[in-house]
Chains A and B, each alone.
Chain A
Amino acid sequence: MRQIPILKIGELLLVSIQIDLQDQTVVALQEDLAEEIVRTGARGVIIDISAVDIVDSFIGRMFSTIAAMSRLMDAETVVVGMRPAVAITLVELGLSLDGVRTALDLEQGMRLLESSLGER
């Protein structure tokens, strides 16, 4: 039973993180997502972190890894809903989340994906 559910919405996969992330959960999520992208042929992944209050280096790297991995499978990733306190902390940590696109909320995230998918 997956700790973090992955929902399919059209060509997109939506991951909504609601729990306190443990390292193993992070690793499991990466693997589950890879599986799902292949299985569904999804072209986009949205990771909703609006309920997440702590993002540390491990989780930050997870986002980068997922973004890189998705791209290899012809899918784009967007992380949405990052809280201000989290953003401020990440800047202080020095984590730049290279290669990870972000949007303020789900709606803007989907628009972002749709426009970039439209370009392809």
Chain B
Amino acid sequence: MTTPPGGEPVGDVPVVSNDDVVRVRQIVRSAADSAGFSLVDQTKIVTAAGELARNTLVHGGGGTAVIERSVNDRRKAGLRIVFTDRGPGIPDVEQALTDGWSTGNGLGLGLSGARRLVDEFTLESAVGEGTTVTVVKWIR
């Protein structure tokens, strides 16, 4: 079930430095808090946002994070965050999504982990053009 875009904007953050990764986390935390997410769900969405922001910076060469409030067709409220970069893109999306960086080798994109923390996860990528990752988490 995909949600229509066009929610209420919360923030549009350039992600070009380590400070920005922290900023994204802080903005998402405050948005999640005021939206009414439970503590555990807040922790999950903020952690996912941090992971994806770092990916955008480290693997995508920098980009942007757009955060907005969203309401789905069942009147549930939530947060949508879109990470975009114009980096090298991901050649094998399937592999990236199953890649286990939890083996601790430091490689891998942490995408599979972030995906488990959110309710909706879409990834679009083209080699040489960039990557867009959209995540949505609803209030339970």
Q: Do chains A and B touch in the complex (CB under 8 A)?
A: yes
Q: When the two chains form their complex, are residues B43 and A93 in contact, meaning their CB atoms are under 8 A apart?
A: no
Question: Chain B residues near A8 (CB, 8 Å)?
Answer: none
> What is the predominant secondary structure among interface residues of chain B facing chain A?
helix
Answer yes or no: B26 CB below 8 A from chain A CBs. yes
Instruction: Type the 1/0 row for A66-80, where 1 means its CB is closer than 8 Å to any CB of B.
Output: 000000000000000
**Which one of B39, B40, B47, B117 has the highest number of Cβ atoms from chain A below 10 Å of its Cβ?**
B47
Q: How far is the CB of A62 from chain B (nearest CB, A)?
A: 11
Question: Chain B residues near A115 (CB, 8 Å)?
Answer: none
Q: How far is the CB of A10 from chain B (nearest CB, A)?
A: 31
> What is the predominant secondary structure among interface residues of chain A facing chain B?
helix
Q: When the two chains form their complex, are residues A86 and B43 in contact, meaning their CB atoms are under 8 A apart?
A: yes
Using a CB–CB cutoff of 8 Å, the interface residues on chain B facing chain A are: 18-19, 21-22, 25-26, 29, 39-40, 42-44, 46-47, 50-51, 54, 100-102, 104, 106, 110, 112-114, 116-117
